[in-house]
Structure 1
């Protein structure tokens, strides 16, 4: 029995869950893992195991969860927390992930995406907590993995050329009102809770990396999903719906949406390549063609012409041959110490 296993057992004993059965629920691209605990009376909870020695920190999760609850949204309730050890016992919001419900019944797609937009409308109207800022510097810097892992042959010159084209456009967004952006806001991180009311019917997961940024960011995140196809018609309807519920100006919002979509999908290309090349997780490579299509779609916006030019000839198209080459290099790049 490892030291961490003993620590978890002690915490579960303190929290009154020592006799519960445990079943691995999920891991993700980070070093966190989640176990479902079940008591004999049927009560359940989720154990989040986020080891600090592996770079995890649960304090941002606790901070954002408190803010979301204060907004009347459905973040998991916190039953027990040991921030120093990276262990949380939190509410179990169930298994009805948006992605699963949509796959089982495509007719639910539009209503569920509209419900997700309702969450953003409510969140964007709330007072702001203290969070780091997603500004032009952050947006530009966060594209680095694309040039370091997906297209490393372009080197520093390609990264600089992109930055020179992208940064002035991103700087223009810094003057827009900021909102909380959850960043990983997509169909595999949202749960349907029909017994609740209004925007609280959407259960929220994986929001510990939240920042303050532009209102279009999370709409891009959910409508240009790396993991599932969202029909362009649905994307257009939800953008129209969100704009109809807010005071955003149409043309500037759509311009920001395209710019943030290009940034986000460019970054994801690099992250997915890094997860394969450095971290030994080749299955993320299979998602790259969808991300590529999102990137190309955004780059066609007229306001992004200079950005598109800066990337021309730099990013290898995700042909079967290129993707197989990435997989063949899986875990060849050492993890930094």
Structure 2
């Protein structure tokens, strides 16, 4: 299907195929989507709707009654769903009373018998028309190209699974992140649980500096090849990374081993000390190893792990100037003098990093990306699942990521224990300069905090993702902690003059 396509035709041989398509359709929908289901009685509308709702609920036994008499049935799920049946609708104006507009603010609407109010339904809807064909049924699908493109992607994933021995597998949404990646949990017909990574090639954004988009400036993975390469690097040295069972590098699809569902947080979202300590021990062991930054994949492609160079470091810290400062100042930009002083300070700090210990850093070594595997021993207790953006750079950065977890408050006593444990293990390895490491740690802590505080605002203002702002009090506190080192005195003074500081304690 081309990018401009506005229709799609599917043949479904029976109710099982219709239900499976309903599960796939659930993965293509986003808040605000309206889906209409039209066709004769028995054509499969209710079969599809029931399967879709149960897939979103991840509950195959969920009772999904027909809304024929109530007109609407609302399900408060991960993605809120309102299932409408307009057959008994008296007048199209009743749609307002049924709450269609409200549900589309943050959920999706499934509407059977849309013909009863077709002129009052959203124009940007996905329309499914069911008809009988032979022993099965055909569905003609029309709608905006962008919505159909989402549907075509999930159907392409279904074909990929079928072609690689996973025909008939059940698919459930697992997680999406701030990037273009999404993950599904795959339940095979023989009872295995796997994870599918859906990571289409990242489209280049507008050139920002030196003719390069943001992703290239800061060395973010633009396809799945870096993930496969680093997975190979870590797996070869005994670290617990997912085995790759199937891959289409061009399409950006991987079927991965499921390392488990248990993380390093407790039921209340607080850090479990034993698990964080194990993560730090795993990191210390990794930092004592040597990794070849060049990896040849089975396809013959050679991936070189990029450096965390000055250009990338500089661009990340500029997020504080470009996004956080104007947000805090009600739109007022940093002055030319502030910008120059900030750049000069960071250039001097990057000079200080020249003597820092360098190696493979995973870049996002924090709670969302760590799996706890208590049945294993040693470094294998820690499952690593997110490392496609790995770099060669100051190893202190990953220690910052876990000790100053951006999404979880690490109590000061635990943070101190984690640091001491890491330093002790590295000292046991020999030839470890603790003083130099601590200086690098504080510099990288400040660098990461400046990036994150700007990133939260960018996600809010540019990308419409306000939920990340809840982390800002924590990352502002982390910045103040980083600035306590003598090497950071110039940046500490600059922040004080600019009015940047921890205004709310999260400890």
TM-score (norm: length of structure 2):
0.60
Are residue 143 (structure 1) and residue 327 (structure 2) matched? no
* Residue pairs, 1:251-262, within 5 angstroms: 251-262=435-446
**Which protein has the bigger strand share?**
2
Query: Do 1:162 and 1:311's aligned partners in 2 also have CA atoms closer than 8 Å?
Result: no
* Aligned residue pairs, count: 317
Q: Distance in 1 between matches of 2:197 and 2:172?
A: 12
Residue 97 (str. 1) matches residue 277 (str. 2): no
Higher relative contact order (CA 8 A, sep 6+): 1
Q: Which residue of 2 aligns with 1:28?
A: 177
> What is the aligned partner in structure 1 of residue 100 from structure 2?
none
- Note the alpha carbon deviations across 1:294-325, whole angstroms, 9 max, x for none: 001111222210111222333555769xxxxx
Partner of 2:119: none
Q: Distance in 2 between matches of 1:155 and 1:278?
A: 22
Between Structure 1 and Structure 2, which shows a larger proportion of helix residues?
Answer: 1
Q: Determine whether 1:117 maps to 2:280.
A: yes
Q: 1:150·1:315 contact (CA, 8 Å) conserved in 2?
A: no
Report deviation, 1:41: 3.1
Counterpart selection for 2:497 from 313, 329, 335: 313
Q: Indicate the RMSD between aligned Cα atoms, in angstroms.
A: 2.0
Structure 1 residues 13, 260: CA separation in 2 closer, same or farther (over 3 Å shift)? same
Q: Distance in 1 between matches of 2:448 and 2:395?
A: 14
Aligned partner of 2:94 in structure 1 is: none
Write the distance in 2 (CA, Å) between the matches of 1:83 and 1:227.
Answer: 31
Structure 2's unaligned 5+ residue stretches are 1-7, 9-150, 205-221, 294-304, 327-332
Distance 1:262 1:31 in 2: 27
Alignment-derived partner of residue 13 in structure 1: 162
- Structure 2 equivalent of residue 332 of structure 1: none
In structure 2, do the counterparts of structure 1 residues 192 and 201 end up closer, same or farther at CA, with 3 Å as the change threshold? same
Is 1:280 matched up with 2:464?
yes
- TM-score, normalising length: structure 1: 0.88
SS, match of residue 98 in structure 1: coil
Judge which range, 206-215 or 153-162, deviates more.
153-162
Residues 260/21 of structure 1: CA separation in 2 closer, same or farther (3 Å cut): same
Does the CA-based 8 Å contact 2:197-2:254 persist in structure 1? yes
The 1:42–1:241 alpha-carbon spacing in structure 2 relative to 1, beyond 3 Å, is same
Q: In structure 1, what is the equivalent of residue 127 of structure 2?
A: none
Residue among 234, 237, 242 paired with 1:68: 234
SS, match of residue 468 in structure 2: helix
2:201 & 2:273 partners in 1: Cα distance? 39
Contact map agreement 1:71 1:122 (CA 8 A) in 2: no
| Contact 1:26–1:35 (CA under 8 A) maintained in structure 2 | yes
1:159 aligns with 2:159: no
Partner of 2:308: 134
